[in-house]
Structure 1
Amino acid sequence: MTKCNISFKPKLIYHNIANTKAEACYRLLLIIKNLNYLYTIS
């Protein structure tokens, strides 16, 4: 079932979803680093 569903989805859309998730995680990490940096300064 899952294999059929994955192959049915267009690959381009699937890759775009994966990219946006990775980008969101990366931005979240940057925000956390910035908060830690500000916290150590003060």
Structure 2
Amino acid sequence: MLKILLKTCITTAAEDVVINVNFMFAVNLTLELLTKKMI
């Protein structure tokens, strides 16, 4: 029971990290494109 709970927590945390990394990457890419267009 505890192992299943722990596994669920780790999986959820890992998914959150992946989502955050992808989000930050998308934001950085968008900012780069915007700054290149301005210059």
- TM-score, normalised to structure 2's length? 0.79
- Cα distance in structure 2, aligned partners of 1:29 and 1:37: 12
Misfit runs of 4+, over 6 Å: none
Structure 1 stretches lacking a partner, 5+ long: 1-8
Structure 2 stretches lacking a partner, 5+ long: 35-39
Structure 1 residue 10: Cα displacement: 1.4
Q: Percent identity?
A: 15
- TM-score, normalised to structure 1's length? 0.74
RMSD (CA atoms): 1.1
* Count of residue correspondences: 34
1:41 aligned to 17, 33, 39, which one? 33
